[in-house]
Amino acid sequence: MDALEIMSNLDRIVPYYQPIFSADEHKIIGYEVLGRYIENGVARSLGRFFHDEDTPDDFRREVEDVIVRKALNAFTEARKTEMLFINRRAAGLLEDYGESFLAILDEYTEKGLRLEQVVLEISEADYSKPLDNVLRYYKTLGIRLAVDHIGELDGDIRHFAGSSPDILKISLRALRKDASDQSYKNIVYSLSMFARKLGASLLFETVEAEYQLQYAWKNGGRYYQGFYLAEPLAGFAEPDGLKDMLREKCSRFISYEKKALGSVYSLAEQLETGLSAVIARSKADSKEKLLEEIAQQFDEMCFRLYICDENGFELTSNYFKKDGKWIFQPEYLDKNWSWRPYFLENIVQMNKNGGGLISDLYNDIETGETIRTFSYPVSDHEYLFFDIPYEYLYDQDGLLY
């Protein structure tokens, strides 16, 4: 697609609109504006035009403006009440501190556009520090900010914290390559925690299969976008068109999640009952002997055992299963684990409830395996930590979800 040909035929440039769906309302809450070029009756993406390094900046800016004006014309004429997601390059905004883009929006406020309906999308890797002032100014006017391409390029999402983004867009493309990639899932979890701290919503894009929609739902996605739900269209899709379908799928996701949580809590109850019995009948004269008795009883269900005090100091060596045989690792004696996330919180919770706790899935530092840990009070101020291996979790229904 030749840049000069496009610039000579600006009338062939049209906006397409990809719907964005809401998890809480199960309806379309916005449309992302995407540029298309009509060639021989076929609408072709302008992505290559915008990302080609040889495309002059003034060409990009002019085409961006054409797309935005045509989109805003259609949006205001249709009296849409949803949001309109508009992509702009940071470099273009910085040329005049965002005034030309704002001037375009102001033209359409007289036609019914509310600035609160506008969501400005900026790529994570396109960010530069001077952009902060522009973004903050836009936000005082009611314009919302979405950060796109989170984690895909070499940007740093922390840079945007000062601009208080309203939406973080996460691509599910990596999940399509490997649905079992725990590292990717850990990154998504971290981003969801970061979004929560910022007060931002997560928008999962490139949703191209039901399992990705389920993953987005499970991981705190408030908004969803992708070909599985709707392709970009020349017009605005009916907001309630997929409401029944999304509601039904959400109900199934809820049922599956409740079943999986039931499996996790059943395991916790099983371990609590079994450990309580072992500890009650134990005649062990040392904590290490107690670990040996527990390992013998739960050989297939754990691969590491140790006991800590309420401040996180190990009172025993690690009792570790290596190549099928249990060994003590004395080098762990007296190590402190209070720095671990949720460690002290879990101790306080066990003290309050008088029972054990089972962790979420996480990657073990030493083995690299995806595991869960069950923690249990063995006496006043002493707590057993019981690491459950991937192999056992894999064989049980719902424990790897």
The DSSP annotation for 38-75 comes to EETTEEEE-HHHHH-TTS-HHHHHHHHHHHHHHHHHHH
> Please, what is the Cα angle at 14 between 8 and 20, to 5 degrees?
150
Tell me how long the chain is: 401
pLDDT for position 240: 96
Instruction: Average the pLDDT over 36-60 and give the result.
Output: 91
Q: What is the pLDDT of residues 322-346, one digit of tens each?
A: 999 999 999 999 999 999 888 999 9
pLDDT band at 131; cut points 50, 70, 90 = confident
pLDDT for position 152: 62
Structure-token match 């993953």, residue found = 215
Instruction: Average the pLDDT over 310-315 and give the result.
Output: 96
| Cα–Cα dist 305/308, whole Å | 10
Label the pairing between strands 13-22 and 221-224.
antiparallel
Q: Which two tokens stand for residue 330?
A: 């004395």
pLDDT band at 153; cut points 50, 70, 90 = low
| Cα–Cα dist 22/112, whole Å | 23
Q: Is the pLDDT of residue 160 over 90?
A: no
Q: What is the pLDDT of residues 246-291, one digit of tens each?
A: 999 999 999 999 999 999 999 999 999 999 999 999 999 999 999 9
Q: Across the chain, what does the average pLDDT equal?
A: 91
Q: What is the pLDDT of residues 169-211, one digit of tens each?
A: 998 886 666 555 667 777 788 888 888 888 899 999 999 999 9
For the question of whether the overall pTM of this predicted structure is more than 0.85, the answer is yes
